[in-house]
Structure 1
Amino acid sequence: MTTTRPQSRTLGDLLDELAAATPQAPALVSGAERFDFAALKARTDAFARALLALGIGRGDRVALLCSNRSEWVVVAGAAAKLGAPLVAISTFSSPRELAYALEHSGAQALVMLSGFRDRHFLQALGELCPELARYPPGALQSAALPALRTVVVLDGDASPGTFGPAEFLARGSCVDAPALARAQAAVAPDDICFILYTSGSTAAPKGVTLAHGPLLANGFDIGERQHLTAEDRLWLSVPLFWAFGSANAMPAIMTHGGCMVLQEVFEPGAALALIERERCSVYYGMANMARALLEHPDHPGRRLGTMRTGLTIGPPEDIALTIQALGAAQLCTVYGSTETYGNCAVTDAHDPLPLRLATQGLPLPGMTVRAVDPATRAPLPPGETGELAVRGYTTPGYFRAPELDAQAFDAAGWFLTGDLGSIEPDGRVRFRGRLKEMIKTGGVNVAPLEVEHVLLQHPDIVQAHVVGVPDQLKGEIVAAAVEIRADTEPDAAAIKAFCRERLASYKVPTRFAFRAAGEFPRTPTGKIHKPGLRQELAQELASDGTS
């Protein structure tokens, strides 16, 4: 490996370091847009000056509601230069989820798309903040979101109370380069760079904070396991607002001076064409995406010979399928979570294939991983399965939730993952499953409690219990067993529509089972027996051939 670890310890400084060292090297491809590092720095600085002109500074939160577009990278870099934590909001968000993220984060600025696919974000914001149209841009006073002052709409014409891109950037003309440099110099490596909302064991999403220094250090180490260089081009359709994108792919390729090639929406035919055209060499994706690429009619005619490595998760069969679909013979497998800056263990691209199929590799240089007894927290010997615990580059804490910190970390500072696994005699991590009830569908976490909370708001539902059941394509699907009121008829389509208005699409149950009160499996203490329910629903799916 010839890449030298960057000197920079903040994201803003890294962009400046790359622009100074290789100004004309390709940095970012997004649709028809192409940026070298000098152009990316110039665009980022302009956005940062505009934020600074509107009073955004160190510690102020900037929310970003955007798909995989160049603006995502620009806004993230601009906020980083000011020491303003970026609150990454999912474009899958329902109005309820959007309101929660904005209120909980206390974001002072929101940079957003007016809408994306079937979501109408600006309309939802207007309903949440009816005062928006009554105040000039940058001076919002909202009862529902008292911290929010500035709204920037990236697409279409600006609506009353919001900035359009040109008007917003013009505000930065009064801020000179020395003022931006002074703000940037005050940012420290342990300042928060990202707040990423993730489903957890609680009904409400958790705001995972990630600091600049560990983000870059761990990102570089992830890239080293893939043997990345400045010549690599990373294809990314996985959303940047998820840790796999922003806390993994982006720092991994940027710390190696390579180029990120964004696809705004995953569509297999377009992905094949993009990978071929841009000569992408690094794959970040899940097995269901690889399967879609392999099964697309264009696949046999596409030249994917430049694809070499990348990251994925899943059982050996899925990893082998991904290698077949992409021709990425040096594909790596990983283990980690948002709280561990994306990954804490990664196989090496040059490891023998059997090791990359069956294990998740050695812990990264800044990480220590061990298996502990779930009850006593005592460390377990090599090869014995227990709860995986991680120490090293872990989240500084959950935003505004010290009670969650107390639950997630033990007294010695070990992060308790809730996952089952073992540390093999050779030191490699082997993931064995989930200790918690978290559902992972298509590589994305879904908290059953959150879905149950929404289902119980339906007027016809008496009780609802959500589990993940095995699915060949997505790993798991979200399934719900519900009891409805005696005077109503089962209507799965109506319940699903109710959920779609309140949940991101991937959280909406794809399977409903209707039960009478006495038909739910229960423990001796009367609690719902979730493992038994999961087994029942899995058997029903298998018997009717829908999984």
Structure 2
Amino acid sequence: MNRMPESRTLPKLVSELIALYGEREAVVGNGQRLTYAQLGAQVAAVARRLIRLGVGHGDKVGILMGNRPEWIVSALAITSVGGVAVALNSWATPRELEHLIRHSDCRLLIAAPRFLKHDYGAMLDGMAPLAKRLPLLQGVLGIGDDLPVGWMPLLDADGSDAAAVDAEMRRAGDAVRPEDLAFLLYTSGSTSTPKGVQLVHGSVIANPWQIGERQHVVAGDRLWLAVSLFWGLGCVNAMMNLLTHGGCIVLQESFDPGAALSLIQDERCTLFYGTPNMAQALHDHPDRSRYDLSTLRGGATLGTPEQVMRVVELGATQICNIYGLTETYGNSHVTDAGDALERRLTSCGRPLPGVIQRIVAPDGADLPPGRIGEVRVKGHVTAGYHKDEALTRQSIDEQGFFRTGDLGYVDEDGYLYFCGRLKDMVKTGGINVAPAEVEAVLMDHPSICVAYVVGVPDDSRDEILGALVVPHPGANLSIEQVVAHCRANLAAYKVPRLVRFVEETTIPLTVTGKVQKNKLAETFFAPVAG
């Protein structure tokens, strides 16, 4: 039986993990292999560097790079001296990056000079004069040997002050409290300016450990991780889940399906963490049969039953369906790896220990099982939005529950079923329609793989329903058949008036793999006159 870590702060956790799992492999990636003892040594080396540069309690330090071991080392080092690790979007444009650095109050950056097509040195040069545009930023610590002009190396040689620095590092770590901020993560911002989500030490340890318990993670498990570490699913959910269980994180710097199949095989990965588009790319890869994926057992994903089933067919038969937001420390709900497959395909699971759920009607009343309403949760929830007290207040209801903005219902056993975003509700002819209900009916058709329903502007009805339908390969399906199926199973006002057949690969996604529903209408449906 697994034992929850005793530590409630990250500096204490690093020491505890070294004592428990010192010689076990902790992180693999970019040609590096680190045991827990080696990981701890690297964390201490970076922490000393930060102490020498004056980083102290509450100071923000940004991390900007792909999925490299240095990302994990940096995050643990920053938080070990009482600083706050700011996870910066490695895909950001110069404008977006400047906003994130300024809004987060970053004092330092730890960065790779480049990631794929992104030249971070050039991007930061384009923000000159930094002293005026980013007055709080004091410098950039770079990884690697070929650093841009003006960048400092991440590590420096120990000097005559080594003993004093070590003493200060220990003092800083001992001063950290469970309620102190550890991470500042930014939402993907597909529909608005990214929000800075503040996460504290205690919950960053406790909630991911419970996530791992639902997934039946054990010491020695090996996780394939190409999900970006700057996203909550990467750094809070996956990273902290594996570290608290003594597992190994096998990093893929950026997702490529062929390389991922090879990595899973060669590193004997047991756990899968991925989004529906990643699962599809692996499942449909022409060379998949050449790779031995027999070590896969479980992990986490999300999506429709068809999308989750792809992961099962890769070999992860104990895969867990998950639900959560950045604001809920990765997940608030996870199915149990031992649940029946049908339940794991359709449900998001019950609330994790330490989390309480409500399903709420528009008037604020609690709804009984089977009724769709807004999902609200209490427990391991963000300490608030950085620099936005008004939004923080608006996000918490009168009973202290976080308003997720998501629609769902629970069954008699307390399992949550996700039904879409509250803001995705379509008002057609004065009547509200939940797209998730129509999508569920569409996907009951034997020839339909996936369906997405959105509101399309209409002069006379405000909006009408448009359906994007992904048929099963080889299916012989017509628009007339789709409409007839809907008419047989839905009230007339819920029947889509527009139907388009599309390939799943053409559906626009955010960098975190979520469907950009706000772009579907403009992408696939021309303006409709009444």
Q: Normalised by the shorter chain, which TM-score bucket?
A: 0.7 to 0.9
Q: Of residues 317, 320, 323 in structure 2, which corresponds to 1:335?
A: 323
Q: Is 1:24–2:31 an aligned residue pair?
A: no
Q: How does 1:259-274 map to 2 (within 5 A)?
A: 259-274=248-263
Structure 2 contact 227–512 (Cα < 8 Å) conserved: no
Q: How does 1:236-275 map to 2 (within 5 A)?
A: 236-275=225-264
Segments of 5+ residues of structure 1 without an aligned counterpart are: 132-141, 440-466, 479-503, 511-529, 542-547
User: How much has 1:55 moved relative to structure 2?
Assistant: 0.3
Q: 1:422 to 1:121 in 2, by over 3 A?
A: same
Q: How does 1:124-139 map to 2 (within 5 A)?
A: 124-130=123-129
Q: Is 1:153–2:152 an aligned residue pair?
A: no
Write the distance in 2 (CA, Å) between the matches of 1:170 and 1:476. Answer: 55
Write the distance in 2 (CA, Å) between the matches of 1:319 and 1:150. Answer: 44
Q: How does 1:210-225 map to 2 (within 5 A)?
A: 210-225=199-214
SS at match of 1:143: helix
Q: 1:536 to 1:293 in 2, by over 3 A?
A: closer
Structure 1 contact 53–174 (Cα < 8 Å) conserved: no
Write the distance in 1 (CA, Å) between the matches of 2:149 and 2:190. Answer: 39
Structure 2 contact 46–154 (Cα < 8 Å) conserved: no
* Aligned AA (1:397): G
User: How much has 1:474 moved relative to structure 2?
Assistant: 6.0
* Aligned AA (2:213): E
Structure 2 contact 45–155 (Cα < 8 Å) conserved: no
Write the distance in 1 (CA, Å) between the matches of 2:122 and 2:30. Answer: 26
Q: Is 1:294–2:253 an aligned residue pair?
A: no
Q: Normalized against structure 2, the TM-score is what?
A: 0.81
User: How much has 1:436 moved relative to structure 2?
Assistant: 2.1
User: How much has 1:355 moved relative to structure 2?
Assistant: 0.5
Write the distance in 2 (CA, Å) between the matches of 1:164 and 1:234. Answer: 30
Structure 2 contact 27–249 (Cα < 8 Å) conserved: yes
1:395 corresponding residue in structure 2:
382
Q: 1:328 to 1:434 in 2, by over 3 A?
A: same
Write the distance in 2 (CA, Å) between the matches of 1:258 and 1:337. Answer: 24
Q: Of residues 372, 378, 394 in structure 1, which corresponds to 2:360?
A: 372
User: How much has 1:299 moved relative to structure 2?
Assistant: 1.1
Q: Is 1:96–2:95 an aligned residue pair?
A: yes
Q: How does 1:76-95 map to 2 (within 5 A)?
A: 76-95=75-94
Q: How does 1:104-123 map to 2 (within 5 A)?
A: 104-123=103-122
User: How much has 1:536 moved relative to structure 2?
Assistant: 7.6
User: How much has 1:268 moved relative to structure 2?
Assistant: 1.1
Structure 2 contact 374–405 (Cα < 8 Å) conserved: yes
User: How much has 1:402 moved relative to structure 2?
Assistant: 0.7
Structure 2 contact 75–85 (Cα < 8 Å) conserved: yes
* Aligned AA (1:10): T
Write the distance in 1 (CA, Å) between the matches of 2:369 and 2:128. Answer: 55
Structure 2 contact 11–80 (Cα < 8 Å) conserved: yes
Q: 1:30 to 1:173 in 2, by over 3 A?
A: farther
User: How much has 1:434 moved relative to structure 2?
Assistant: 1.0
* Aligned AA (1:426): D
Tell me the alpha carbon deviations over residues 297-317 of structure 1, each in whole angstroms, 9 at most, x when there is no partner: 321121111100010000101
2:178 corresponding residue in structure 1:
189
Structure 1 contact 114–156 (Cα < 8 Å) conserved: no
Write the distance in 2 (CA, Å) between the matches of 1:219 and 1:245. Answer: 11
Tell me the alpha carbon deviations over residues 11-49 of structure 1, each in whole angstroms, 9 at most, x when there is no partner: 222111111122111111012210001100000000001
Q: Of residues 415, 423, 426 in structure 2, which corresponds to 1:428?
A: 415
SS at match of 1:310: strand
User: How much has 1:75 moved relative to structure 2?
Assistant: 0.3
CA-based RMSD = 2.8
* Aligned AA (1:273): S
* Aligned AA (2:13): L
User: How much has 1:236 moved relative to structure 2?
Assistant: 0.3
Q: How does 1:432-511 map to 2 (within 5 A)?
A: 432-437=419-424, 473=504, 476-477=507-508
Segments of 5+ residues of structure 2 without an aligned counterpart are: 426-434, 436-465, 470-501
Q: 1:13 to 1:417 in 2, by over 3 A?
A: same
Write the distance in 1 (CA, Å) between the matches of 2:159 and 2:213. Answer: 40
User: How much has 1:160 moved relative to structure 2?
Assistant: 3.4
Instruction: State percent identity of aligned pairs.
Output: 42
Tell me the alpha carbon deviations over residues 448-500 of structure 1, each in whole angstroms, 9 at most, x when there is no partner: xxxxxxxxxxxxxxxxxxx997775369426xxxxxxxxxxxxxxxxxxxxxx
Q: Normalized against structure 1, the TM-score is what?
A: 0.79
